[in-house]
Structure 1
């Protein structure tokens, strides 16, 4: 009997031992888990690195965000929104939306671990090819549409669809990325009136300062498709004020060689009245899917990536970065050093930031992750068109538009009218390239009813045109 009891106890211990060996507790990620290989991009608040996770040996895009700059620029809520939307998207694993694997932090930095796409972005390809052929435009359009459709289903208005935010995978398929300007509605059908986005892709209702919702993304899609088909956005002008007026007033024109089906699609997407815009009727996205431009598209095949890409990026080896901007790739891959230690009062803003796809999703509550910093605002007018020294005004929240950098001074603002057209060859050293492929140079301007002085910069965009920006 004793022997049998001993045997039973031994078996019990063996079972416990096997159970213990098979259980792998969750390892909380830290920056020490990743080797930084190269810089893929740089913004005013941080950098994006090509990184390798030491445990799995897999490559990821690691976005490091400076807490110091997040707080200094009143971007806590903005940062929270990006993390929350990425977490929401990652739980569904959509084929055309970038996936967040981890979010964590240390005393100075916030980190987002994202899937790495070695084919670069659509902007880089447009710079190389100027425009795409019909088959390539159709291919990208179908995948972008399904990505936007899913964002809208989740109650998210994207607000920043542009070539720079469409990444290309090794297999030629794309994903949408960068949800820093996105807004998630709860409940799903609400409106907002925040003036934000990238100037060339702004819908008329945003420019007019009206309330808006999901239809602005379909306008941006129309603008993007027009650019891919022709090499330029439909209402482009080197003066942004004139470009805004063109968006509101000019007749849509097409090249003589554009297909009729494409022209009809663009007319529908670039309808100034959002209630009449294609994709905004009772049938929603099915209006776009059912358009004759997509007559021969099998949407189920698109979703499951059974459609063959018309372009496959050249990638010679695992860490080949030929599809990325040399300006960033040549930088030393290291984290920014904060100017001062952050106190516990600042750290409380980031409680609940962590996320892992291996754990149940938990979004930080607004009380946990609320910025008590007041947002500064500036005013602008002319039916919502930014201008210098205007009297009637609308408020532009402080985290809107793009970020610009000049040495150690950071700017965030809305683009204004052009100030210069060329960089003198002997003056190029005074300009610095930022993450949006802009060169910037600092100056000051007087604007608003009270002639308050704001730091500003003249910005060269990827088409070689200049605008001024001012901070909010």
Structure 2
């Protein structure tokens, strides 16, 4: 269920390699989990009700409110992921992208961010339907209609980011979550790049080896079309169980990405083969989505049954709905995390000295949370 509190602790992520690179996130207390009003759930327990005021007054009030949020305002139930320390630059990139993607139905949203002397915190949408990686491991592959549904929702999210001149750059099953209703939610924006319009170029070598586009691997300038290559690799994996050029030997896999012919398995539809060939085209000038971005994908026959407006409005019933009993159900999250005790260091209840200003402008309160309903009692 979206709206529950999850925490990213420590200095967040560097380069990701698997679900274990997902940073520590924590769900709010059992009492809060039993409430279904998401605005009440996210309301700070000590904050009195405020009436809606003029916009300017609200904005100025938020500046003082952000400095008052602290770890002890929240309780912690379960560890649902764990990762490593990351670079400061990735922390601020993540925050910036989260702010821009708050209103998109297939992007994880930010509710609060704040800092202490030792840690930075993100309070994000809590998504408990499991990683796409988890479901692929369990089922091996998906039927075409299910793969098409997920790929279409991912495409809408990527197209939205591209419309904001943001390139995602790290699409992989570990970064694709399902919410409790079965819809896709992209998360982990630390490797995003801002300010790159369609046709613009980048040079940074980053990403996860299995999903790297050939132009990135070669060190060539690249553009938002790298995300459509990434979608092609994920779609291939959803349909056939492994990334398209996978090898357990990294050097061989890189050679495959650069030169091996695409081996589309028998049994797939002609439309699926055509889409994979278009997305996994090494010549960027010919790659599907390289010219008109999302529109090119929307026109492809593989998505012929998709009503894009209804999909964006979440009116299309997902082909798989996670069987979760409620917002505190973590059955789709790896027990290697959920069975761990919550580290006392994350809470910092006993730490003296208050907050830190090491990252100016990091603290944030979503105005929706500030203006919403009554406080949690």
What range is the shorter-chain TM-score in?
0.7 to 0.9
Partner of 1:36: 76
Distance 1:171 1:293, change over 3 A: same
Query: Which structure exhibits the higher relative contact order, with contacts defined as CA atoms closer than 8 Å and separated by 6 or more residues?
Result: 2
Distance 1:35 1:254, change over 3 A: same
Q: 3-state SS of the aligned residue for 1:175?
A: strand
- Structure with greater proportional helix content: 2
For residues 355-401 of structure 1, the C-alpha deviation after alignment (integer angstroms, 9 at most, x for no partner) is 111189xxxxxxxxxxxxxxxxxxxxxxxxxxxxxxxxxxxxxxxxx
User: Equivalent residue for 1:80?
Assistant: 92
Cα distance between partner residues in 1 of 2:218 and 2:92: 28
Cα 1:321/1:217, change in 2 over 3 Å? same
Find out whether 1:276 has 2:316 as its counterpart: no
Structure 1: runs of 5 or more not aligned: 1-19, 46-69, 361-472
1:163 aligns with 2:163: no
- The DSSP-based 3-state class of the residue aligned with 2:96 is helix
Contact preservation (8 Å) 2:162, 2:197: no
In structure 2, distance between residues paired with 1:353 and 1:258: 47
1:218-246 superposed Cα distances (whole Å, 9 cap, x missing partner): 00000000000000111010111110100
What are the residue-to-residue correspondences of 1:393-412 with 2, within 5 Å? none
Please list the CA deviations of residues 288-343 of structure 1 after superposition, one character each: whole Å capped at 9, or x if unmatched.
110011112111111111111110001123311110010000111124379xx999
Aligned counterparts of 2:99 and 2:264: Cα–Cα separation in 1? 40
Say if 1:36 and 1:334, in contact at 8 Å, map to a contact too.
Answer: no
Q: What are the ranges of 5 or more consecutive residues in structure 2 without an aligned counterpart?
A: 1-48, 54-60, 370-377
Matches for 1:158-237 after TM superposition, within 5 Å = 158-185=168-195, 190-237=200-247
**TM-score in terms of structure 1 length:** 0.62
1:310-321, aligned counterparts within 5 Å? 310-321=319-330
Q: Contact 1:154/1:188 (CA < 8 Å) preserved in 2? A: no
Equivalent pairs, count: 307
> Counterpart of 1:355?
364
Q: Distance in 2 between matches of 1:88 and 1:318?
A: 25
Change (3 A) 1:271 1:23: closer
Cα distance in 1, alignment partners of residues 345 and 249 from structure 2: 35
State the distance in 2 between where 1:260 and 1:350 align. 51
- What is the Cα deviation at residue 348 of structure 1? 5.1
Structure 2 residue 294 is the aligned partner of structure 1 residue 285: yes
TM-score by length of 2: 0.77
TM superposition shift of 1:182: 0.8
Larger radius of gyration between Structure 1 and Structure 2: 1
Alignment partner for residue 307 of structure 1, among 277, 299, 316?
Answer: 316
- Per-residue deviation, residues 8-30 of structure 1 (Å, max 9, x unmatched): xxxxxxxxxxxx97468654321
Alignment match, 2:149: 139
Over the aligned positions, Cα root-mean-square deviation in angstroms equals: 2.5
Q: Alpha carbons of 1:188 and 1:228: their partners in 2 closer, same or farther (altered >3 Å)?
A: closer
- Distance change (3 Å), C-alpha of 1:356 and 1:221: same
